[in-house]
Amino acid sequence: MKSGQGHSLAIIAGGGVMPLEVARLAQRCGWNVHIAGISGFADTRIEHFSHVWVKLGELGKLYRQLEAWQCRTLVIVGAVIRPQFGDIGFDLGALSSLPDIAKLLRGGDDSVLDGVVRFFEGRGYEVLGPLDVAPQLAAEAGAMTANEPSGDTLADIRQGAELLRVMSPFDIGQAVVMASGRAIAVEALEGTDAMLERAAALRASGRWRVKGRCGVLVKLAKRGQNLRVDLPAIGPRTIELARAAALEGIAVGAGQVLVAERERTLAEAAKAGLFLYGIDP
């Protein structure tokens, strides 16, 4: 964690509420927060902060604004659907950056995100992760709910975490549903939500035959995952899907998995009788 101490921080904001949460918590940590909201993606509530709207491709405008804010430190957060190069309206100030941008749009998903960080670093900016400026966003170790995993479930959590670790060198292994020593579903490209929907469907179809609450979602950062731009996260939707799959709870890497909308997420977990548990990584 970096303490703000009145330093300027620019949040480059994509979609969702995360940029707003990061902004609020970073302010509490003493940062002088500004937000550059990406038009068409960022929540309009960024306007409650010092802000500017930039279109994808308006790099000249962004660079000028960062200079006006005297800001050399960035956090990039929020969803942006990867655009096609030809769909981006570049401004004059973006011209010198076009070759780099074309290159980074060609790679896989992970390499785009890594590329964005390298892009700004190459221009002299310091790029921090959301957890660097707002560590309160991450799960803490141990039970975050009144419910706790049983001994058997702790064994499933350990086994799931180990499975994720061995898959990690293959650039997958972010999440898995474990139950009674078995892997019910393993996440690859589909994402955590779709994997949880699959677990629910496997129960509904009788392929996963079990009565009552059973199973746990285990979610960790991949080894070497760039937590500055690609933070594993859970939130109210994760709770809803875990409840629909009749899981017992959710275990996430402490200090590395972001709990979005924490108050609401914890309240809904409690209401659904799910545990939320931080694994000491």
Which residues are at the interface with a copy of itself (CB under 8 A)? 82, 108, 159, 162-163, 166-167, 170-172, 176-177, 180-191, 198, 202, 207-209
User: What minimum distance in Å lies between the beta carbon of 197 and a copy of itself?
Assistant: 11
Q: How far is CA 168 from CA 99, 162, 177, 230, in A?
A: 31, 10, 16, 15
User: What minimum distance in Å lies between the beta carbon of 56 and a copy of itself?
Assistant: 17
- DSSP-assigned states of every residue in 105-163: HHS-HHHHHHHHHHHHHHTT-EEE-HHHH-GGGBPPSEESSS----HHHHHHHHHHHHH
User: What minimum distance in Å lies between the beta carbon of 89 and a copy of itself?
Assistant: 21
Residue 173 token pair: 């292994």
Residue whose CB is less far from a copy of itself, 114 or 187: 187
Residue whose CB is less far from a copy of itself, 44 or 207: 207
Distance CA(29)–CA(41), nearest Å, equals 26
Residue whose CB is less far from a copy of itself, 80 or 127: 80
Residue whose CB is less far from a copy of itself, 5 or 84: 84
Dihedral of CA atoms 232, 240, 274, 202 in degrees, nearest 10, equals -90
User: What minimum distance in Å lies between the beta carbon of 199 and a copy of itself?
Assistant: 8
Residue whose CB is less far from a copy of itself, 134 or 184: 184
Q: State the pairing for strand pair 182-186/8-13.
A: unpaired
Q: How far is CA 6 from the centre of its chain?
A: 26
User: What minimum distance in Å lies between the beta carbon of 91 and a copy of itself?
Assistant: 26
Distance CA(231)–CA(46), nearest Å, equals 21
Residue whose CB is less far from a copy of itself, 92 or 166: 166
- Residue 262 three-state SS: helix
Distance CA(205)–CA(60), nearest Å, equals 54
Residue 130 token pair: 């959301």
Residue whose CB is less far from a copy of itself, 42 or 184: 184
User: What minimum distance in Å lies between the beta carbon of 219 and a copy of itself?
Assistant: 15
User: What minimum distance in Å lies between the beta carbon of 119 and a copy of itself?
Assistant: 21
